[in-house]
Structure 1
Amino acid sequence: MVEKIRASVIGASGYGGAEAVRLLATHPQINIVHVTADSQKGREMSNLYPNLRRYVDQTMIEADAEAIGRDSDVTFVSLPSGKAMHMVLPLLEGGSKVIDIAADFRLHDASLYPVWYKFEHAAPTYLGEAVYGLPELHRDEIRQTRLLANPGCYPAAALLALLPLIRSGKAQTSGIVIDAKSGVSGAGRGGGGGFGYAEVNENLSAYSVTAHNHTAEIEQELSGAAGGEAPVRVVFTPHLVPMTRGILATAYVPLAEELAESEALALYDDMYADEPFVRVLHDALPQTKATLGSNYCDVTVRINPRTQTAIAIAAIDNLGRGAAGQAVQNMNLMFDLPEATGLAFPGVFP
């Protein structure tokens, strides 16, 4: 019998960490070793998340990176940005591979962290080693890495919506506008003021206008995909909608040359033909409900011939393809497992 992979989740009490635990609990090649939550230590996981009863009844412990590194083949770190970077060295030295579900290793340039995240990077030497975990861009590198930077939820949707246009050279590298809507679970379990039921219900609001930290991540990956000297620049505005889970990203893209809608859709079909978790829609538009609870991204593109603008739309579950589902997909690649292992199920509808 093949020995199972020993997995631990640091930050299991948050929504992203708990979703990782849920997916790992039924993964056929995983044995969950530790679940940690400093704020909830001593509490059973299934007491905090009753959906996990009979699946994960372990007691959450305080995170000890050295011990977890020794006990684990892979560790998922799901902590607020700025926390994971302090744990990477002991985890890696203990022999564990690391998947950071937050933002500590997504940006290649350490000087961007004070600009977008308001902190100095404590482990800049690891930024060159970390691989950005979007398989559609970096599958070969993901297979080889021991340090994985899981994409942010908004970038996962925005990048999958835009990549076929950017890689083909059919889009301009400036003037791109990304309008994205997210459910409130994207703010995390400790989302803070303004995320209570009374504030969110029957309401729709923009936030972090011109300054959302995911902008840097989106521009970094799009610029790399464009392959040219001119960096890609985007206007990105996120919005909060009164639903629990889901992201819908709509990108307005000035075209570099005339492009018919059938040609645009063919670009998407070609790029995503062999991708297990991207569904290109021709006769329908993406909707968040269709991806709820899954690792799928539904994507399409439409062309406005009057303005020569492409409208690219993607829908994902922010806790699935936007966080834990993507992390498990990356783990499968890192351990040479079939990519869809533990993730081959449809979303929940209605």
Structure 2
Amino acid sequence: MIKKSSLIFSFLIRFRLRVLKFEKTEESKLKTNLKLALILLLPLFANSLIQAQQTVQDTLSCFAPLTGFISRIYPFNQPPFFFLIRTNSEALRIGDIKGDIGVTDNMALRSYLTFSIQNFSQISQQDSQVFINSAKIRLGNLGSMGNGVGGIYPIFNNNPNLPLVADHIDFGTVLDTTDWDAGEIGNNQTITPETAIVMDSVDINAIYTEFDVKNSLQYDIDLNKNLSQYRLAFSSFETDNDFFSDNLIFRGAYLSIPENLRPKLILNYTVYKFGDTDFDGFVTELDVQLVLEKIVNNSTLSDLDLKVGDVDGNGKLQVNDASLILQYANGLITKFPVEN
């Protein structure tokens, strides 16, 4: 009887050891399979996040019919008058040059840029919003003159560092002589004067000049504009009447100019929905939870986080935003106050 019990006990021990060995093997296999699954699914998961956030890198060419320059003649001891408007041109010219009418006149020039952004208006009509992460205008350098000498920065009244600025303007669908003062403070076509410094010295080896227009572009998109427009000029200056050429020249929008050298708007933007704080493409109670967690933890918010979560439009992320998102997720409201 004792021998039989020992045999049974021994059998049970061996059986348990086999079970443990099997369980350990299966656990190891399970872990391995999970790792493989994660490796395989991670790119898909990452891709789904990218698709949900829809972060896009894009480049827009300038709208040629509204990109060009205006020139103005300053005859000696006589009132100035407009001479030429040229759009879809081979060059953008800013500054002054010795005039074509006679030896005692100067010609001042200012240039204008237009980019079509109507695609962003279409996005807004699809219950989505656009957040500009970065935006810059890139110009192809063509030449410069200072006191009539090529290759140096313009010199006005012995000032060798007068900055070339970009003014954020809205001159509409026609470039004409009345747009000469667009960009000046108080002009009704001026949105933001001197929104960016384009340059204040010349790098003769640089192929391009770039300047930031993120805030200006965001402004235009938020107002559902179809065009984003800028003026290039020397700040509050037209000509020093010294009869020497002082100007900067960039590549224009004419079709003969290689595509990569024409003015470009290079931007990175994210398409989102108000209230979709986890960027999965839907407004759900998970978004409410995420907002509350950020409020409780006093989390540092990115500009995009605030833009998406601040659904009451007061510039802060608060409990009221979570309440509104909860109402939206449950169909109690169909629009957020920030959208009105």
Same fold (TM over 0.5): no
What is the TM-score of this pair, normalised by structure 1? 0.22
Task: Specify which structure has the higher proportion of strand.
Answer: 2
What is the TM-score of this pair, normalised by structure 2? 0.22
Larger Rg: 2
